[in-house]
Chain A
Amino acid sequence: MNRLLDTGLERLTAMLLQMGKVAEEAVRISIESFMTGVDVYERVEQLSDTLVRMNVDVEDKAFELIAKYQPVASDLRIIKSYIKISNDLERYGRYAWDISFIHKRLANFEKCEDPLAIIEEMGEKVISMVQVSIEALKTHNSELARKLIETENEVDALYFRHLDHSTEMPMSSRCLITNTLVVRYLERIADHATYIGESIIYIATGEKVVLR
């Protein structure tokens, strides 16, 4: 039986997955360009703005469905979580933009060699987390969502390693600030990927978990 609410939920899911695509691109190109020194600032800014708008749209749509259909049980959990996830995806875009912005403003797209290896490893992990979070969202796969915690722990470890490393290594303050901020943004993106994972587990099982 097709319920009236189903059409709305399908639309909401489509909007969210579209956001996922945009966010994934923003995160990926901002990190990649930071490593390669390419200027993608404007593109990332565009993507981030799109995500801000889409976040508002998702929230509107979700409230419309609540007002119209008073969803309960799994429907309610989905809508409540989608609002949160939409916010997380918007944050992906925002931190991607932050990376691009710092890269442009402080580094003028130049590389700071050290400790780029850590940032590279972190970047790869964060991109994979973003991809996994979106993949889990597509199918409400709580198993996949639970896997995010491992990567999250690895990202955190790298984050602390970077902090220790940069206090010990002599380097220009420009590089120090740039790298530290970027590492910080990556860590935040990883956090939001974990939040999405928590939301997906809640949708699928009703269980309210904290993956941190």
Chain B
Amino acid sequence: MNKKLLKQTIFFQIFRMTSALVILFLFVMIWTFISNGIGVISWTFLTDMPKRGMTEGGIFPAIVGTVYLTLGAIVFALPIGVASAIYLVEYAHEGRLVRIINSAIINLAGVPSIVYGLFGFGIFVVFLNFGTSILSGSLTLFIMILPTIVSASREALLGVPKSFREGSLALGATKWQTIRHMVLPYALPGILTGAILAVARAAGETAPIILTAVFFFRPSLPRSIMDGTMALASHIYYMATQHHAINLVRPLTYGSVLVLLSIVLSLNILAIVIRTRYRRRKNW
């Protein structure tokens, strides 16, 4: 065989193996948590309060807490994120303001999550006196996922062909009519995909909520957004590091991880499904 060709084949195989590694990691991880956690999964585990210092019982308040926190975050993030994306794409002219906003988005996305946690603690918990509450946690997560939502929405808006806007404007539609009828409907799937991915990320974050919203142990459901709560991610963290009988509760920890992982993965799969369906339907 030709020497060049041999070299190419060798490199090609190396690259192939490294990419296979990625799949391997994912499967090992999923397998570890399934094999260790599946034993404790049951209807009561999902729907019961934790009992006996969290050595027994379920994780229902943690699941509910995670749902509340992420929903709260997205309720704030989606309208604000989409609105600012619309401003950036449709209204703002190239200029200093847009450059500043762009770099703000990039920098905001790069801030470590513990910093968000501290920031949320300082602003929402202490300064605004929301206390350790779902509101404080949601707002903190909202700030954290905002750049993702803005970026995703902006990409989605930019993905709508310019010709739609021109066609609409040339018929005498106003800018808002054009955005409302010819841009947003076609950007929506992309925006939703971004939002779901952001939610998935928010659901898995630990540091921001530990400092702003969650309790180590709270065997009841929150009654309002001003209540603190349990949450899956923080629950796992506490069970694995702070519990007085770490070894004893290990199966429960694995079970919780499995639940969190399922939620996050399902959200990701949902995002993928929306995206592929939308791509298939897209015909311009």
A and B touch in the complex (CB under 8 A): no
Q: Measuring CB to CB, which residues of chain A are less than 8 angstroms from any residue of chain B?
A: none
